[in-house]
Amino acid sequence: MFIKIVPENKSGRKRLAYYSGHRKNGTVKHSLVQWLGYLDELQALYDDPVSHFKAEARRLTQEEKERQVSLSVSTAEHFHFAPGEGTDCTDPEVRADRILSYGVLPLLKLYHELEIDYFWNNRRRYTKALFNHNSIFRLLVCSRILAPDSKLGTWQARQRLAGDVAFSADDVYRSLAFFSRHKDALIDHLGRMVERQYGRDTGLLYYDVTNYYWEVDAEDELRRRGVSKEHRPDPIVQMGLFMDADGIPLSYGLFPGNTTDVATFRPLQQTGRTIYVADRGMMSGMNVASILLRHSGYVISSSVRTCTAELQAFILKQEGYVHGAADGDFRYKSRLTPVERWVTDSATGGKRKVTVNERQVVFFSRAYQQKARHERMKSIEKAQQAAGGGQNTVLNNHAGRRFLKKSIFDGASGERVEAPEFSVSLDTELLQREEALDGYYLICTNVVGTEEGEPPFAGRARFRRDNLFELNRPVDDVDIIDMYRGLWRIEECFRITKTHLEARPVYVRTRDSIEAHFLTCFVSLLLLRLLEKRTGGTMSVGRMVDSLRQALLGDIEGQCFMNLYCDPVIQDIGAALDIDMSRKYYAKADVRALFAAVKKI
């Protein structure tokens, strides 16, 4: 630090100031530290103000040197972990305002591999916007994974994710309509990129529906009250999601909250021959007819309790079951039979029955049986407690109450009952009928395989004249059951969006903003599923998200970055994507090189 006398151009008066010198790019630069005042005014206070403040500058410089600590680190040193270990470094010299996420690096690499930046930049050319749409979309997607927050909260924390942040909070909100407008084009683009890079197989697709709520009272054309998966009274929006056999999301659509699950399938149905797998909420004659008209296959569960008496008799008849375990805990059988489906005539709007051939696969699981009976008994016990042992409690067919019978009896025979008394008992006949079907599952499908000795045909599959979808390989009952069991992956996708991505409650309210919000959630889910695939499926999405959120670098007095957290999960992710994420220290040039490398795809 040194003293500098600075003359003013207009008045000619001289000012005294502290300056410091530092070297940058081979030359010495001077920067202002503090203005001390006008020299003529300081002369009234000090005999020799220049000498006084020179001495003071030397003293302050010496104190600064004494406070400084020489830092010597190796930027080649890496963390090494035993199983289950991790590190959490906290250093008082780390400046909290200079924290940088390096957990974003694998996300950015996948983002650029999918050429999402190219997609947005190509469409941005046709707008007059002064901000970069891609930078905003990238921020919204990566922040949804690493630090889910409102759009405003995401913008306020944008510095931690590096990259171009030269846009305002208003720019973020303005960009949402742009994202919504190109939603379908982006989903198509992502589908092509995943197919090109990962060899996606769309021969087997899973479909399911969930909903997301808004903490508002008023409804509109999209946010409507309906059957909430979380049993909330708030307005909701329905989302239908398609996923491939590897658990990678393919496409999605939004519907008003009062739309039934079964009505969401046909608007989102994919082109091309494929096998659709869904739960019983999708089982309708119109959906089956739509699949058959597209010469495709279906594997859809159906209720064993609401099916015909003839089908229930087939299910309960033990003849024909193949035992998958010696103790009988798992068994299955099937039959090929014509069934009647109700369809709606598009011309008249009337309903009529059509007959189609269908393969019905039934299986029994002891574990499912025990689970169903345990849950039923809990429900019955709760209903009995609510009934109060004879109190005038309303009984209905909801949950365990449907197993209770209410009888009126007259305490004074022959007289008019002014205040009837009630007795409540267990309906054992109904309970026995229900228990008989516990553990049984019914899968309806038109998927068959080649018969033994039948020569293979050209192609992967063919649609036959009898409305059966034949794969070019043998397909037994266990194959059908395995196809259906893959539905758990799409249920996991919904859990990821609601738990890790915190997609609800939703705070945006216009249709475009809502579409853009769920588009960023969809892309975030896609990146996480691809990251799971790239790491060999050895780590759950939850573990990866937890570790990446803690993956931070701290700026040590402007000299270098220290790795504040690392663990084996981060190490494995870095190894899978060829990113060096386990070093203890990074020079500033190294950090710039890391962020530049993930964009050079």
Which of 223-232, 555-564, 571-580 comes out lowest in average pLDDT? Answer: 555-564
Confidence of residue 96 (pLDDT cuts 50, 70, 90): very low
Distance in Å from the first CA to the final CA of the chain = 46
Q: Find the mean pLDDT for residues 139-156.
A: 94
What DSSP letter does each residue of 362-419 carry, written as one string? EEEEHHHHHHHHHHHHHHHHHHHHHHTTTS-----SSGGGGGEEEEEE-SSTTS--SS
Which is more confidently placed, 460 or 326? 460
pLDDT at 392: 47
Residue-averaged pLDDT of the chain: 87
Q: Find the mean pLDDT for residues 302-311.
A: 92
Task: Examine the pLDDT at 106 and tell me if it is beyond 70.
Answer: yes
Cβ pair 277, 270 in contact under 8 A: no
pLDDT at 496: 94
**Bridge partners for 7 per DSSP:** 14
Q: Find the mean pLDDT for residues 181-190.
A: 97
pLDDT at 30: 84
Q: Find the mean pLDDT for residues 298-317.
A: 94
What is the spatial distance between Cα 601 and Cα 598, in angstroms, rounded to a whole number? 7
Predicted confidence (pLDDT) per residue in 436-452, tens digit: 999 999 999 999 999 98
pLDDT at 447: 97
* Among 364, 361, 362, residue whose Cα is nearest residue 327: 364
Task: Examine the pLDDT at 541 and tell me if it is beyond 70.
Answer: yes
For the chain, give the percent of residues with pLDDT over 70. 87
Q: What is the DSSP letter of 325?
A: S
Task: Examine the pLDDT at 26 and tell me if it is beyond 80.
Answer: no
Task: Examine the pLDDT at 332 and tell me if it is beyond 90.
Answer: yes
pLDDT at 411: 53
Q: Find the mean pLDDT for residues 371-384.
A: 86
Task: Examine the pLDDT at 560 and tell me if it is beyond 90.
Answer: no
* Among 261, 151, 136, residue whose Cα is nearest residue 211: 261
Which is more confidently placed, 312 or 343? 312
Task: Examine the pLDDT at 185 and tell me if it is beyond 90.
Answer: yes
pLDDT at 276: 96
Which is more confidently placed, 360 or 76? 360
Reduce the DSSP state of residue 108 to 3 states and report it: helix
Which of 247-251, 418-422, 427-431, 433-437 comes out lowest in average pLDDT? Answer: 418-422
Task: Examine the pLDDT at 407 and tell me if it is beyond 80.
Answer: no
What is the spatial distance between Cα 360 and Cα 341, in angstroms, rounded to a whole number? 14
Predicted confidence (pLDDT) per residue in 70-84, tens digit: 556 666 677 776 665
Q: Find the mean pLDDT for residues 204-228.
A: 92
For the chain, give the percent of residues with pLDDT over 90. 56
pLDDT at 64: 75
